[in-house]
Structure formats: structure tokens, C-alpha cells
Amino acid sequence: MQVFVAQVINGLSLGSIYVLLVTGFNLLLLVAMIIHFSYPQVVVFSMYIAWVVLRYTGNNVPLAVLASVGASVAINLASAPLFQKIMKNREEVDINSTMVVSMGIGMIITDVLSHGFNKGLPISFPKELVGDVAVFRFGLISLLSGQVVSLAVGVLAVSGVFLLLYKTRQGRAFRAIAEDPNGARLVGIPLLSTGLQSYALSGILGGLIAVLLALMLGYTSPGLGELVAHKVLGVSIIAGLGNLPGGLVVGLALGILEALIQGYLPGSWSNAIAFLVLLVVILVKPRGLFGIKL
């Protein structure tokens, strides 16, 4: 029972990270109207940037966070013109070509990481920051400080994003474009600059996610980007592309499922089983549980 509770808590941390990733992905899908397949790889890149900053500034955490956010935003804004150009190439917005472009970007990022850092081997974050002292102990349940922070920040971030989307002017503009870009234009919402804002926002989110992942996992590797990307994309299919509340539910569910599997089964199988579950659900419902928006 205690293992169960411990793993559920772990699962919520992991799940909130998935939710944030799916939300950032959906933001780009709905507002910028692109499929950014390698959004998680941008996030992993930011993790590396954070690690570099930590190393060369003697573990200056705020600076690392800033650098991580900056890196994500920079990459997103830099790739925005590429995506925009692709979308203008065809008469109808062919969203598949944005997916292929983002795969290309992902290829580049992953391989740069494989070559440029530690010969492609995983790198770990300083123990003092991740915390190897349990902050909370109850029988078998022990929470590292890193996990607590990541859970708390994760929950806050998810709430923050949903608040932004549903209660602010900017969020309204995002949702309007998501529902009907032409209608949004008629109300005087500038499509281009709002689209760019979604790149920036998902970049900020990405930088934060990078920090959370670093706290939660304590390490990063080039392959992490692809691994997380495939899971997150699986989640977004199951939840229904563009379905924000759905993403919340399915993301948390996956996190908890993975954590539970990790609690009871040895290492590399947890990923495989998670993928198997995703695969089965997708095969049964190729258009998602709650229906596709696209």
C-alpha cells in the first residue's frame, strides 16, 4: 500500500510534466497551427543548457533556469519563420509538412546533443540540487526535495497555463484563433503576432519543463528527448489533438501508470509497457478517446 501511495505521488509529478508538455504542444498546434513533433527535444536541449550553466557558474540555479527558458524561447522563435514559410508553401495549410520539418529539427537537436556533450552519454545534475536527502518520510514513502519541488511547481505551472488560457485577454485570443482563425481576424486579432506569442509562451513553458525534468530525473541524455516526445505525442493523440482538458487527464494518467509500473517491475520494461498501453489505446481509438479536433 505504501509503495502504491509513493508511486502515485511520483506519478503525479511525472504526469504534471507530461501535461505541461502536451499543453505546450497543443498551444503550438492550435494557435500557431503547426505540429511541433520535436517540442520535447527542444526541452531536453534546454536541460543541457541548464546543466552547462550550472557547471560554469558553480550551481547558480536562477541563472540556469533563466538560461533554460531563454534557450527554449530562442529555438522556438528561430524556428517560427521556418514553420511559417512551410505553411505558406501550400494553398491549404498542410499540417503534415510542419510535422516533417519539426522532425528534421529534432534530428538535428538530438544528434548535436549526441556529439557535443559527453559523447552522447547521459549527464547528471548536481546531487545537491536534486536533493538526495529525503524531505519527507513515512515508512516506505520518501520524497526527495527535488521531487517535491517538481511536483509543486508542476501543479502551479499547469494551473497557471489553464488560468492564462481561460481567464486572460491573451488566452482568449489564443482560444479564438484555435477555434476559428478567420473569425479571429474579423474581430481584429492579429494572427501573426499572436501566433508568435504562442511560440514564445510554449518556449517559456519548455524552459520550465526542462528545469522540472532535471529536478525530477536528476539526469538527461540525448535519447530522452525522443523517448519523452513519443510518449507525449501518444498522450496527445489519445486525449485528442488540441484537446486541452483531455491532455490534462491523459497526461496525469500516463504519469501515474508509469510510476506504478516502475514501482513493481524492473527498469527498462516500464517504458515498453507504457508504450504498449499507449499503442493499444491508439489502435483501438486512432482518433483519440475524446475525438480529434483536427
Partner 1 sequence: MAPSEVLLAVKDLEVSYGHINALSGVSLEVCRGEIVVLIGANGAGKSTLLATSLGINLPRAGSVTFRGKLISGQPADRNVRAGLCLVPEGRGVFAAMSVLDNLLLGAHHNLRAVERNLVRVYQWFPLLKERQNQVARTLSGGERQMLAIARALMSSPELIMVDEPSLGLAPIVVNDIFQILVRLNQEGYTILLSEQNAYKSLKCAHRGYVLETGKITLSGTAQELLADPGVRAAYIGA
Partner 2 sequence: MSLPLYYFLTITAINILMSWALYLPYRVAHLHFLTVANMAISGYLSGWLVQGLGFSFWAALPIGLLAGGLLGWLLSLFIGDAPTFTVVIVGFTFIYITRTVIENTKAVGATMGMFGLPLVAGSPAAHRWALLALLYALVLVVGFLIHRFEHSRLGRASSAVFVDKDLATSFGVDIKKLGRLLQVFSSTVAGGCGVIYGFLYRSFHLDFFTFQLVGLFMTIIFVGGYATMWGVVVAAPLLYGLTLLFPPEVASWRIVIYGAILVAVLVLKPEGFITRRLILNLERLLSSKRKKI
Using CB under 8 A as the binding rule, whether residue 222 contacts partner 2 is answered as: no
Shortest distance (Å) from residue 174 CB to partner 1: 11
Paired sense of beta strands 219-220 and 141-144, if any = unpaired
- Alpha carbon distance 236, 202 (integer Å): 15
Shortest distance (Å) from residue 39 CB to partner 1: 24
The phi and psi torsions of 144 (rounded to 5 degrees) equal: -75, 155
Task: Provide the mask over 177-216, with x wherever binding to partner 1 is found by CB under 8 A and - wherever it is not.
Answer: --xx--x-xxxxxx--------------------------
Q: Give the total of residues touching partner 1 (CB under 8 A).
A: 14
Partner touching 188 among partner 2, partner 1, none, CB below 5 to 8 Å by kind: partner 1
Using CB under 8 A as the binding rule, whether residue 93 contacts partner 1 is answered as: no
Task: Provide the mask over 259-288, with x wherever binding to partner 2 is found by CB under 8 A and - wherever it is not.
Answer: ---------xx-xx--xx-xx--xxx-xx-
Using CB under 8 A as the binding rule, whether residue 128 contacts partner 1 is answered as: no
Which residues are paired to 138 by β-bridges? 141
Query: Of 157, 150, 156, 158, which is closest to residue 212 (Cα–Cα)?
Result: 150
- Residue nearer to partner 2 on the CB measure, 218 or 234: 234
Burial of 232 (0-12, 13-18, 19+ CB in 10 A): buried
The answer for residues whose C-beta is within 8 angstroms of residue 151's C-beta and 6 or more apart is 9, 12, 13, 16
**DSSP letter string, 1-56:** -HHHHHHHHHHHHHHHHHHHHHHHHHHIIIII----TTHHHHHHHHHHHHHHHHHH
91 three-class SS: coil
Task: Provide the mask over 102-131, with x wherever binding to partner 2 is found by CB under 8 A and - wherever it is not.
Answer: -xxxxxx-xxx--x----------------
Using CB under 8 A as the binding rule, whether residue 292 contacts partner 1 is answered as: no
Which residues in this chain contact partner 1 in the complex, by CB under 8 A? 169, 172-173, 175-176, 179-180, 183, 185-190
Which residues in this chain contact partner 2 in the complex, by CB under 8 A? 35, 37, 82, 85-86, 89-90, 96-97, 99-101, 103-108, 110-112, 115, 226-227, 230, 233-234, 237, 241, 268-269, 271-272, 275-276, 278-279, 282-284, 286-287, 292, 294
